[in-house]
Structure 1
Amino acid sequence: MNVNIRNYYAKDAQDIAEINFLFNLAYQYNGDYKPENIFCAEIDNRVVATGYLEPTESCEYLDKEGKDSNYVHRFILETDSHGYEQLEQEIFERILDRATQIKKSYPHKKIQISHACEHTDLESIDFLFSKGFYHSLNYFIMKRDLTLPMPEYSLNHEIEIKRWAMGTEAEKELYLQAEEDSSGESWSKARLNWFMAGSEWDTITAFHHGKPISSCMTWGISSDRSATEQIFTHPDWRRKGVARATIIETMRFLRDEKQKNEATLGVVGSNQAAIRLYKSLGYELIDIHLLMVKDIV
């Protein structure tokens, strides 16, 4: 058996689609996925396992200033195959080596790689422990039954909440700037374009005098369920009911326009304010994921 582990080529698309359809789409159409950060295990000219490093929004600051020396630039690590676990582990090691190469280019910046595990996946968690990973935080996965009654809200009449298609590059830049102003960092343009091209993508945004002040993004997960994610509100508009109203309008949109029965979201377990808001809107905890991270030195 002739095994070759190498970087990704465009000709690998069909083989990778048979392993993981979403991996294949991301490799081809998401500009954040760079061939030098994607690895493939090939047996007799056929790719049977693959894995990658994906930059998060924190990596936008690798090549620019604006964050202090303790700021962490985090990449996501994923692998998959059809039963070739040993080759997945070899790809895993190649990805660790690649992360070390990236760190050498940014010696004065903190770099981590991460992988999220379901809390019941003890085998994967234990494997990551053996590779120097540690538990960083919990993600609470929450679900809202959209067939139940929706809460009401009232807002300043100068605030307009509407579906925002972001049809121009200027509007995309406006959205990303609003996210950065609200959260301290934002998605890359490539990541935004990737999600906008996805199944049943929409964004519901609150505007004040034409400026976006709060937003909730949604995309299809199944015939019955959609995500309610990328929720942010400008600091000047927090604790004024704007985020609550934006999420309610998103849930109504999913129920009435998309005929969905469920909405789900993920929230960092320590974000008590957000969890209180989501609970008040009828979201219930359905799962917990553990974020495992490794510091690259």
Structure 2
Amino acid sequence: MKENRGDTMTADVDFSVRSYNEQDWDSVVQLYKKLIKNEEDVIYWWPGPEHTWEDVHCLFNNKSMIAKGQVQVINMISEDYQGDANHLIYLNIKVDPDWENDKEVRDILYERLLQRAKLLKSKLPPQYPAKLCVGNYATEIKENAYFESKGFKHFESLYWMHMEADKSLPSSNFKLTSVDIKHWDIDTCEEEIKYLQAENEIWPENPTGLERLREYKSKPYWTSITAFHNEEIIGSVMAWKETDESIGTIENVFVKPDWRKRGLASHLIIEGIRHLQDCNLKQVQLLVETKNESALKLYQSIGFEIEKEEKRFWIDI
């Protein structure tokens, strides 16, 4: 029996959906290859460790994978946090280009992931609200339109910026001898709390939280380059290698207001890049809000270039 589903005529439609298992890896890779051949740039989540596989759902037609979706708590607000903030749960859905006009395919995965997100929310500290979020490149027009049709509202846009790791770097003009800058392992619970308290002053509505901090620390070649004045944290940057890629990431760049416009941010970023150069990586990347003109100019002055734009949307759950 044939059915007309969107713009595609298909035969013997027999959908089934289940959680990911290791036998699905080749199908996941093939789905990615079809997507980048069709669109070149897509935000594609790879299945993580086995304990997360319940959050990865695969949709099959006649035993062939035609779509994959994942959901993950990206930002959990700790119970002792003093401030207004949201838990952030992100999802990602990708559909085989041959099925991209079939709304039912996305609907099946979305409903499964929505229920899974609600279950994850039920395990988070209940005093904070939760947002279900999605991020896709601006060029992923059909994906973004689908989520807007589900009531998701645009809340931020980000530029992905990159530079070649072997690019020559500008010299730093930061001269204050009273500031101690060092690679800081943030080893103890007391040091983790000290770091998070300093960072929360900068991003009170989007704190990193202990769980995400420890996730960052588990990344290959992770380091924190942190500036202290009289043992107080006044600025910091993190750097690490992306798993299974020759790409380094610069993340969580901040300088406290009283210490800005002195060249400290540039100095910290350059030190982070040098760390990644020592790791023999090919590229360095970072994310910046499109409306943050001062940060954008800073990164461009160091040598970063805008590569692509990501749009993010959310709903309350």
Shared fold, TM over 0.5: yes
Taking the aligned partners of 2:156 and 2:201, their CA distance within structure 1 comes to 24
Taking the aligned partners of 2:301 and 2:107, their CA distance within structure 1 comes to 43
Deviation at 1:127, TM superposition (A): 1.5
Give 1:156's aligned residue. 176
Partner of 2:143: helix, strand, or coil? helix
Give 1:60's aligned residue. 77
Report the AA paired with residue 179 of structure 1.
E
Residue 225 (1) aligns with residue 225 (2): no
TM-score between both structures, scaled by the size of structure 2 = 0.72
Partner of 1:166: helix, strand, or coil? coil
Report the AA paired with residue 55 of structure 1.
V
Partner of 1:266: helix, strand, or coil? strand
Deviation at 1:243, TM superposition (A): 1.4
Which of residues 280, 294, 297 is equivalent to 1:273?
Answer: 294
Partner of 2:48: helix, strand, or coil? helix
Deviation at 1:17, TM superposition (A): 5.1
Question: Which sits farther off after the overlay, 118-127 or 172-181?
Answer: 172-181
Give 2:57's aligned residue. 40
Taking the aligned partners of 1:260 and 1:150, their CA distance within structure 2 comes to 19
Give 1:94's aligned residue. 112
Taking the aligned partners of 1:47 and 1:201, their CA distance within structure 2 comes to 38
Deviation at 1:119, TM superposition (A): 1.3
Partner of 1:219: helix, strand, or coil? strand
Unaligned runs of 5+ in 2: 1-13, 30-43
**Aligned CA distance change for structure 1 residues 42 and 154 (closer, same or farther; 3 Å):** closer
Taking only aligned residues, the RMSD between alpha carbons, in angstroms, comes to 3.6
Report the AA paired with residue 119 of structure 1.
A
Question: For 1:113-167, what per-residue CA distance to the aligned partner results, in whole angstroms no more than 9, with x for missing partners?
Answer: 2111111111211211222223222101112334224232223102122222223
Taking the aligned partners of 1:210 and 1:279, their CA distance within structure 2 comes to 31
Which is higher, the Rg of structure 1 or of structure 2? 2
Residue 78 (1) aligns with residue 92 (2): yes
Equivalent residues, number: 278
Deviation at 1:183, TM superposition (A): 2.1
**Aligned CA distance change for structure 1 residues 120 and 166 (closer, same or farther; 3 Å):** same
Taking the aligned partners of 1:94 and 1:231, their CA distance within structure 2 comes to 36
Give 1:214's aligned residue. 235
TM-score between both structures, scaled by the size of structure 1 = 0.76
Taking the aligned partners of 2:241 and 2:185, their CA distance within structure 1 comes to 16
Equivalent pair of 1:177/1:186 in contact (CA under 8 Å) = no
Taking the aligned partners of 2:284 and 2:202, their CA distance within structure 1 comes to 23
Deviation at 1:109, TM superposition (A): 5.9
Give 1:116's aligned residue. 135
Report the AA paired with residue 241 of structure 1.
G
**Aligned CA distance change for structure 1 residues 201 and 17 (closer, same or farther; 3 Å):** farther
Taking the aligned partners of 2:162 and 2:268, their CA distance within structure 1 comes to 17
Report the AA paired with residue 240 of structure 1.
R
Unaligned runs of 5+ in 1: none
Report the AA paired with residue 281 of structure 2.
K
Q: Percent same amino acid among aligned pairs?
A: 23
Q: After TM superposition, list the pairs within 5 Å mapping 1:1-297 onto structure 2.
A: 3=16, 5=18, 14-15=22-23, 19=28, 23-26=46-49, 28=51, 38=55, 40-41=57-58, 51-57=69-75, 59-60=76-77, 63=79, 66-68=82-84, 72-79=86-93, 89-99=107-117, 102=121, 110-146=129-165, 147-184=167-204, 185-221=206-242, 224-255=246-277, 257-296=278-317
Taking the aligned partners of 1:34 and 1:149, their CA distance within structure 2 comes to 41
Report the AA paired with residue 268 of structure 2.
T
Partner of 1:25: helix, strand, or coil? coil
